[in-house]
A = this chain, B = another copy of it.
């Protein structure tokens, strides 16, 4: 069974929701047969790569919050993260474009290193002092720590179109599936779970989707195939 998780590195609820989902998954009896796929969703898709600002400033400018409101919001999110055992710097974090990170996550997926990179990106964004938006070499360092080849990563970063279509395709698909915010969890393209739900809700969703896994409905079994025993002889 496949679970697709649309999220953004810059999304605190995605960071928290991922930990809650993973708690449910770790206790799920069929966890070995669940494939988890990260899907891209940018909260701030129009932002230029060099447009970086402190999160608190972004919150006041973009959403018209007072500084005190913005700080209280961060404090709340920090407390939610802490409750999941996740480190979270409530002050001094940066906000910027996550497009290149999503491109790298697609590259990492085909190298079998997606979850490693995602975890390191979240940690870098939410818990480390050095900004994750510093420069490309910051991303190269994180990607190599996730097991990726530095030169291949530099090549992806140098070509703004590398994996760009895959990021955009993910975002189009999210819209088609009805997601307006993230995290957004889709189980076997049948069940949707929106938001950083408690682990119990994910357990329920996994159980329900697992129980209802449907075999494919066959339209017609009569077509000619090639298989391990050769190719069917054509009907005359």
Contact = CB atoms under 8 A, between A and B. Distances in A.
A226 B73 contact: no
A77 B224 CA distance: 11
Interface stretch (A120-128, A130-138, A140-148, A196-204): A196-204
A216 interface: yes
Copies of the polypeptide in the assembly: 2
Contacts of A190: 214, 216-217
Given A181-B225, A182-B226, A225-B181, A219 B231 contact: no
Contacts of A233: 73, 76
A174 to B, nearest CB: 11
Contact of A110 (B10, B12, B13, B166): B166
A184 B217 contact: no
A163 interface: yes
Given A73-B231, A231-B73, A13 B224 contact: yes
B63 A178 contact: no
Interface string A99-135: 0000000110010100000000000000000000000
A56 interface: no
Nearest to A228: B43
Nearest to A69: B233
Interface string A63-106: 10000000001001101100000000000000000000000001
A80 to B, nearest CB: 5
Interface of A: 8, 10-14, 17, 35, 43, 59, 62-63, 73, 76-77, 79-80, 106-107, 110, 112, 163, 165-166, 169, 177-178, 180-184, 186, 188-197, 201, 204-205, 208, 214-234
List 9 tightest A-B contacts by C-beta distance, closest first: A195-B223, A181-B227, A181-B225, A192-B216, A197-B223, A11-B226, A205-B219, A195-B225, A76-B234
24 contacts: A10-B226, A11-B231, A12-B226, A12-B231, A35-B169, A59-B230, A63-B229, A73-B233, A76-B233, A181-B225, A182-B226, A182-B227, A183-B225, A188-B189, A190-B214, A191-B218, A193-B220, A194-B225, A196-B223, A196-B225, A197-B220, A201-B219, A201-B220, A208-B219
